[in-house]
Chain A
Amino acid sequence: MLLKLAWRNIWKNRKRTLITAASIVFAVLLATVMSSVTEGVLYKLQDNVVSFYSGAIQVHKNGYWDDQSLDNSMLINDTLINQLNDHESIHGVIKRLESFALSASEEHTRGCMVVGIEPEAEPIVTKLDNKVSEGEYLTADDKQVLVAEGLAEYLGLGVGDTLVIIGQGYHGINAADKYPIKGLLHFASPDLNKRMVYLPIKLAQQLYGAPDRVTALVLAIDDVNEADKLETELSKIISDKYEIMGWKELMPELNQMLQNERGENVVFLMVLYILIAFGIFGTVLMMTLERQYEFGVLVAIGMRRFKLSIQIILENIFISLLGAAIGTLISIPVVVYFHLYPIEVGGSLQKIYEEWGFEPIYYFSVEPFIFYKQTLIVLIIALVISVYPLLKILELDPVTAMRT
């Protein structure tokens, strides 16, 4: 009965209901599309940045991250590798031996990051093979190196020239050798571009006097969004001799930046929802005042205030759900369309995107939560606003209500 009453009541003032619902439709549509593009772009960004270098998750020897020296490298045992490989979300485990060193040509020297990699496996995470701008990519048994363009330019070296690396190896031994440059690498990130040197891991182990040792295992996973979950799962399985770190710890600045972006989006959405809230509140206010007499009669003839309140809350929920449902229904094709045919980024932003090696495209996310979140929020708004008529009804005195 209350449902029927509520449903009919919202259609009594058809125009007002439609206007209220339409404003909700519009806001939900806007909010959904906004959230979709924000989430889509941020996801893509995160995915891109994570695959620059760090990967989504790394496993180190305990303590390595705080003191990144070869002395904190680890000997890999098969148990660990198998445990990782056996996990369904992990589709690759790549080994790295990383250390800072000095790189030098005949004229110049400069600090650099020397990374021993498995040439066949590394591209799973970083697509390193695609970044070769000159010369060729490595094979496992090469005795040559790849040098980032910026570094090569500074040192005045090109493909075929010889690069000297001087550093400190495992347990303080001297590590110095020279290698022919097999290829140059172009990185989107200027930071990587001026300091990266890659060589096959075996060669690196030899250079640093650290046979069979690695500093990091980088895990290739399908979805960066799953990283947190996977990290917790792994920390339960894997021996605590190792530290497991997700990209948020590996790249706190990136995480911070994404949070800020989302924060800005939240502020925008809040403003939007406050506008909706006022819209609904206006309707509810008018409705409550207009129907004092009716409420008075209902309480007089024996309807408990509590029941009456429920009826009013139902009315608000109906209008809100109606708006939210239509808004969501309209937004689905819109968002899906842009998901399939994303918009190109124009103007100055395009340059920035391209500089960083991103596709200059606005991606739209179709994560389900983007859709139902709006409905949920509108519903909560409706419930909060229902407090007003509710209070009015709880203090309603039929005699006063009917005298007006």
Chain B
Amino acid sequence: MKDDNHKNCVIHTEELSKIYDEGAVPVKAVNNVHLHIEKGEFTALVGPSGSGKTTLLNLLGGLDTPTSGKVWIHGKDLSTLSKNKLIDFRLHNIGFVFQAYNLIPVLTARENIEFVMLLQKESKKERKDRIEQLLKETGLEDQGDKKPSELSGGQQQRVAVARALASKPQFVLADEPTANLDSKTAGNLLDMMAKLNKDEGMTFIFSTHDQRVIDRARRVITLVDGAISNDEVRDTNKVTT
């Protein structure tokens, strides 16, 4: 049963825990999480501050190593990868969008998107085509030559999403991508992500506090004290409206 699970889904975790043992009392930031993410999901990770959202996303993205338990991405056990192989694995399989300052400040939007493809050693033509396509999909046709400092917060996050998609990852992890945006801009960013999810089948997992963002998710996983307290799959139709 285990093997089947690993192959059919994008992310699979078993008994995943991360314990911080620095203070007087050990903190179970992630506590025995079993998680299953299928291809094409549009999933929100919610929970109060300190509930372990960031920690869980970092574990799923191979940025952090669990204290116990394992993460499989498309059947690949992350714990078997060496440091450098893990970096390469992230490059080719996972798109990241962070809360802020995602972009390389000295590169233009276009160059930021191109950056990951350069790391992947994509051909020039391939890069050019994909950049234009991504700029279009993220509504940034006219912003390609601007540096991050010349873009609004919302636009910067769009570029970050475009960059996350540029590597053609298995899924995109976004840790509070809207935290620094006003709610209208946040809504727009989510609409854009939802559209990419619908049109391209890209899997998104994002953490958020924002109810309007949560409303757009098709699955909402609630964390409390590092453990999943609720896992709700919603009606698809409700989302797109």
* CB-contacts of A278-337 with B (<8 A): 293-294, 297-307
Interface size of B by Cβ–Cβ distance < 8 Å? 26
| B163 part of interface (Cβ distance < 8 Å) | yes
Question: In the complex the two chains form, is B98's CB within 8 Å of A304's CB?
Answer: no
Point out the residues of chain A lying under 8 angstroms from B106, CB to CB. 5, 8-9, 11-12
Specify the chain B residue showing the minimal Cβ separation from A12: B106
Tell me if B87 counts as interface (CB < 8 A to partner A): yes
- Given known A-B contacts A5-B107, A8-B106, A8-B107, A300 and B61 have beta carbons under 8 A apart: yes
Whether A1 contacts B84 in the complex (CB less than 8 A), given A294-B104, A300-B63, A402-B98, comes out as no
A37 to B60, CA, bound (A): 65
Chain B residues near A303 (CB-CB < 8 A): 87, 91, 119
Contact of A302 among B58, B92, B104 (CB under 8 A): B92
Q: With a CB–CB cut-off of 8 A, which chain B residues contact A1? A: 115, 118
A398 within 8 A of B: yes
Beta-carbon contact of B96 and A301 below 8 Å: yes
Interface residue total, chain A, C-beta cutoff 8 A: 22
A399 CB within 8 Å of chain B: yes
Q: How far is the CA of A371 from the CA of B105 in the complex (A)?
A: 37
Residues of B113-159 at the interface with A, using a CB-CB cut-off of 8 Å, are 115-116, 118-120
Q: Mark out the residues of chain A between 346 and 379 whose CB falls within 8 Å of any chain B CB in the assembled complex.
A: none
- Interface status of B197 (Cβ within 8 A of chain A): no
- Residues in B whose Cβ lies below 8 Å from that of A300: 61, 63, 90, 96, 98
Chain A residues lying within 8 Å of B102, measured Cβ to Cβ, are 297
Contact B91 A301 (CB under 8 A): yes
Give the docked Cα–Cα distance between A9 and B107 (Å). 9
Q: What residue in chain A is nearest B114 (Cβ atoms)?
A: A1
Interface contact A302-B105, CB-CB below 8 Å = no
* CB-defined contacts of B116 to chain A, threshold 8 Å: 301-302
Inter-chain CA distance A299–B167, complex, in Å, is 15
Digit string of A199-238 for contact with B (CB within 8 Å is 1, else 0)?
0000000000000000000000000000000000000000
B64 at the interface (CB under 8 A from A): yes
Enumerate B57-94 residues with CB–CB distance to A below 8 Å. Answer: 58, 61, 63-64, 84, 87-88, 90-92
Q: How far is the CA of A299 from the CA of B98 in the complex (A)?
A: 13
Looking across the interface, which residue of chain B has its beta carbon closest to that of A301? B96
List the A residue with the shortest CB-CB distance to B93. Answer: A302
Given A8-B106, A8-B107, also A304-B101 (CB < 8 A): no
Bound-complex Cα distance A385 to B12 (A)? 44
Query: Please, which residues of chain A bring their CB within 8 A of the CB of B58?
Result: 399
**Min C-beta distance of A332 to chain B, whole Å:** 33
Q: A300-B90, A304-B84, A399-B63 are known contacts. Are A12 and B107 too (CB-CB below 8 A)?
A: no
Which B residues contact A (CB, under 8 angstroms)? 58, 61, 63-64, 84, 87-88, 90-92, 96, 98, 101-102, 104-107, 115-116, 118-120, 163-164, 167
Known: A9-B106, A300-B90; 9 extra A-B contacts, CB below 8 A, are: A8-B107, A11-B106, A299-B87, A301-B116, A301-B163, A301-B164, A303-B87, A304-B88, A305-B87
A-B contact pairs, 16 of them (CB 8 A): A1-B115, A294-B104, A294-B105, A297-B96, A299-B87, A300-B61, A300-B63, A301-B91, A302-B90, A302-B119, A302-B120, A303-B87, A304-B87, A399-B58, A399-B64, A402-B98
